[in-house]
């Protein structure tokens, strides 16, 4: 295998998805070779079609619940539906993707001695009793609820990553991703940012659950991908036998209520939408805010793009998408 100071051949699972496609753009932009693997359940070829003529890009349609045999230097494991609408559509398959997918990618990393990144989630903290959430917090998760396929699937994947690290000396990186938004979000994924923008652009009622006072922290995708790259590129000579494995929180610590987000989207779109309220879904977290002190220390990283600036770029993307579809 090539050494880390030369051009890398990098596998990105879930590479045709929202986060994966932005990550691939950055990897190709710095000169790496990228193999994009996606079964296109929630990902889309449209997210990567601008790369098809790039000789350093390769697309493979494949489901990570089945083994994959390929020679690579690094692996970013991003494959898994990440929105409640999608991961609750087939909850058994969601758990399989998190658990079997982790086993298969860890087995591949062990065979080729690749460094491997796991896209974990703030959902491992559940409906947190600690605020903001630090990496040492073990979480408050319902193991048998409607969201458990995703929450517990990701928690089990973290267990597998650290057991492979301890038992086999695998070079791992585990990042816990908080709410992220930006261009290429799926318009029907049920996430709050895409929901509000699509509803506002169509002058439809904007749906809030509960009283709208539950909080979230929103990180623009460019900032998040920068955190991915800095985390993955920590060398193995800084006092850690295998670099810094994590887990590490990656997200924006600026906290907003869901109602504040809705009102900001209405203002940015000039929409005539009205706010309507529905019952709060089961196990929906009331607060979600990362403590990113560890990311600041280890990666010299923190988000730079403020919510209004990022939302403007996201609104422009959805405006183009909706106009092209009409």
Three-state DSSP class for 80? coil
Place of tokens 């083994």: 67
- The one-character DSSP state at 48 is T
Structure tokens at 254: 């600026």
Q: Where are the beta strands (DSSP E) in 102-242?
A: 115-121, 172-177, 180-181, 206-209, 215-217, 219-220
CA 93 to chain centre: 18
In the set 76, 87, 125, 150, the catalytic residue is: 150
Nearest to 58, CA basis, from 207, 68, 250, 66 = 68
Whether 198 and 322 have beta carbons less than 8 Å apart is answered as yes
What does the DSSP assignment read for 208-255?
Answer: EETTS--EEE-EEHHHHHHHHHHHHT--S-SS-BTB----EEES---E
CA-angle at 160, arms to 99 and 150, nearest 5°: 40
Specify which residues 115 forms β-bridges with. 74
Residues facing 180 on adjacent strands? 219
Active site residue 125: no
Q: Could you give the CA distance from residue 130 to residue 161 in angstroms, rounded to a whole number?
A: 25
d(CA 303, CA 103): 31
Do the Cβ atoms of 265 and 271 come closer than 8 Å?
yes
C-alpha closest to that of 264 among 280, 253, 279, 275: 275
Question: Kind of pairing, strands 255-257 and 215-217?
Answer: antiparallel
Mind telling me the catalytic residues? 150
């Amino acid at each position: 295998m090539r050494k880390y100071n030369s051009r890398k051949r990098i596998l990105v699972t879930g590479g045709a998805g929202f986060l994966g496609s932005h990550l691939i753009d950055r990897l190709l932009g710095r000169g790496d070779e990228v193999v994009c693997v996606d079964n296109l359940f929630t990902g889309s070829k449209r997210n990567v079609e601008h790369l098809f003529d790039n000789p350093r890009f390769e697309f493979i349609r494949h489901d990570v619940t089945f083994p994959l045999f390929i020679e690579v230097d690094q692996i970013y494991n991003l494959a898994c539906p990440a929105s409640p609408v999608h991961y609750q559509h087939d909850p058994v398959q969601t758990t399989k993707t998190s658990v079997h997918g982790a086993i298969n990618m860890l087995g591949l990393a062990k065979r080729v001695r690749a460094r491997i990144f796991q896209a974990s989630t703030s959902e491992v903290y559940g409906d947190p009793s600690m605020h903001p959430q630090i990496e040492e917090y073990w979480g408050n998760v319902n193991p048998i609820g409607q969201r458990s396929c995703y929450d517990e699937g990701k928690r089990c994947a973290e267990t597998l990553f650290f057991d492979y690290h301890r038992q086999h000396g695998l070079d791992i990186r585990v990042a816990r991703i908080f709410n992220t938004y930006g261009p290429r979000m799926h318009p029907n994924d049920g996430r709050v940012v895409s929901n509000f923008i699509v509803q506002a652009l169509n002058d439809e009622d904007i749906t809030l659950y509960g009283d709208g006072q539950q909080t979230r922290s929103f990180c623009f995708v460019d900032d998040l991908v920068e955190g991915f790259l800095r985390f993955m590129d920590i060398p193995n000579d800084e006092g850690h036998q295998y670099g810094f494995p994590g887990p590490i929180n990656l997200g924006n610590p600026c906290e907003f209520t869901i109602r504040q987000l809705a009102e900001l989207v209405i203002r940015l779109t000039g929409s005539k939408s009205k706010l309507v309220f529905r019952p709060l879904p089961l196990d929906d977290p009331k607060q979600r805010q990362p403590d990113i002190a560890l990311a600041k220390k280890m990666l010299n990283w923190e988000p730079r793009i403020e919510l209004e600036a990022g939302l403007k770029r996201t609104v422009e993307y959805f405006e183009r998408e909706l106009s092209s579809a009409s």
